[in-house]
Structure 1
């Protein structure tokens, strides 16, 4: 199985909307790091699983929508607690839609919200 991963860091804000969120219920920032991975058993005719430049472009576009914003204000979080788990899924789905990879059979986003905690979402393509 081949894997290609591209990483990008950015800052965004949020506040949790669950009962008794503690200090996380106040607006605060995270320095997120997104690791976007594509996985598959075969390469294309050029020996690529994905074009890394296409992945970088997709990440720049998608992450650009969230960079320096409050996640709670984003349409993609409407009715949802803006958890790192939801955010990893949203990023994964949006980056895959933008990159339109043809060869990989799986995609994933590992989203670090700080140096100690992360969530991961994986989907079949």
Structure 2
């Protein structure tokens, strides 16, 4: 399996309004390190998984809409618990939409929310 991994970061604020989340119910900030991995069993006609520059641009464009935002204030997340896992799925869906015309492999998203914890989403 071949792969290309893109790493970007973003700073967000949010609250997780449910007693399950204890103190995280309050507004708090996080710096997310986001890894998006593109995997395929074969290379394309240019002997690449995906153009790395294009993959960086796609990921940066998606994260730029969330960077320095309070996720609670964004219409797309109204009434949602914006857990790290949920945001990973959102990023996965957005990346998948943007690359579907030229990438046919598998995509996974991993978010490092602190030095000791990661969460993510990948397709089956």
Fold agreement, TM-score > 0.5: yes
The corresponding residue for 1:66 is 66
- Structure 1 residues 2, 20: CA separation in 2 closer, same or farther (over 3 Å shift)? closer
Contact between 1:44 and 1:103, CA under 8 Å: does it hold in 2?
Answer: no
The corresponding residue for 1:118 is 118
Measure how far apart 1:74 and its partner are.
2.1
The corresponding residue for 2:85 is 85
Measure how far apart 1:64 and its partner are.
0.3
Contact between 2:6 and 2:56, CA under 8 Å: does it hold in 1?
Answer: yes
CA distance in 2 between counterparts of 1:33 and 1:89 reads: 15
Q: How does 1:47-66 map to 2 (within 5 A)?
A: 47-66=47-66
The corresponding residue for 1:8 is 8
CA distance in 1 between counterparts of 2:44 and 2:11 reads: 34
TM-score of the superposition, structure 2-length normalised? 0.91
Measure how far apart 1:101 and its partner are.
5.7
Contact between 1:11 and 1:30, CA under 8 Å: does it hold in 2?
Answer: yes
Query: Is it true that 1:29 corresponds to 2:37 in the alignment?
Result: no
TM-score of the superposition, structure 1-length normalised? 0.91
- Structure 1 residues 35, 99: CA separation in 2 closer, same or farther (over 3 Å shift)? same
The aligned length equals 124
Unaligned runs of 5+ in 2: none
